[in-house]
Amino acid sequence: MAVIALFIIYLSRESSDWTWFTDYQYLTKLFGITLSFIYIGISIEKTSFFKIIWNFGFSKFIISIAISAIILFSSGKASELINLVFNVDASAFPYTRAYIVGLLVFQYTSPFLVIIACFYILHSIDIWYYIKKLINRNSSYYTEVPYLSILFLISSITFLLFSYNWVKRDFSEDAYPSKIYRLAHILDFNSKHPCLNINKNTKVIFLDSAYNKVLVDENNIKTKNIESFINKDSSKVFIPKKFNIVFCKID
């Protein structure tokens, strides 16, 4: 799995003559990074230390409570961020809110990536011992090359660098408003509506179930691909300071 993941990541970085592949390069990179993370997680879980911890029901109970608390806190934070952008209740943007919650959960759990860094050090020591024995022409300690340690080393450093750039730059605090605005246009804004007093090409958000009040946005925001959404530089967009809320006249 690690070899496949690293090959996919390498493939996504190479310039290609296939023009059709250009639009999928970043998506391919994300897929490779995801496979790397799965491999890292499986490798860590297979260690005797985590096997022992996971055998205790109390450990599972504490982890479940911690995850629930992070999700609840992320839900509140997501609602706050959406409210700061649109000045209305976040319940009007259910899909945007769900995605932002997922991104915030990753951000708030990112300090636990130090666990990967610790195993990175352990595997580095493992490789260093092998090199030392190889230099001293003493193969009694290691019978074969520590391939798994090498794969873990490359996979972990690739994932950690990507995660650091994602948390500290692409999904930093000041990057969220633009991403929320883009997500809302993709997932929640309605391009079709029955309101006779609003231009048919104008996107709206219905603020109640009776379709009486709608939030109107005249901007036509288009997101080309997933990279233009994630990348901080390309995802920046002008956000109106105030959105019009009007009554919808159906007949």
The residue among 135, 249, 140 whose CA lies nearest residue 197 is 249
Average pLDDT over residues 186-195: 84
Average pLDDT over residues 170-196: 86
pLDDT of residue 77: 93
Q: Among the residues of 87-217, which ranges form H helices?
A: 94-109, 114-135, 147-165, 176-187
Angle value at C-alpha 196, between 193 and 198, nearest 5 degrees: 70
The residue among 113, 156, 149, 151 whose CA lies nearest residue 131 is 149
The average confidence (pLDDT) of the chain is 82
**Distance from C-alpha of 190 to C-alpha of 197, rounded to nearest angstrom:** 15
Q: Please say if the pLDDT value at position 169 is more than 80.
A: yes
Domain boundaries, the chain: 2-172, 179-247
69-79 confidence digits (pLDDT tens):
999 999 999 99
pTM for the full predicted model: 0.80
17-51 confidence digits (pLDDT tens):
556 666 677 777 888 888 888 888 888 888 888 88
pLDDT > 70: percent of the chain: 86
Region for 213 from its dihedrals, namely left if φ exceeds 0, alpha if ψ lies in -120 to 50, beta otherwise:
beta
The residue among 245, 201, 236 whose CA lies nearest residue 219 is 201
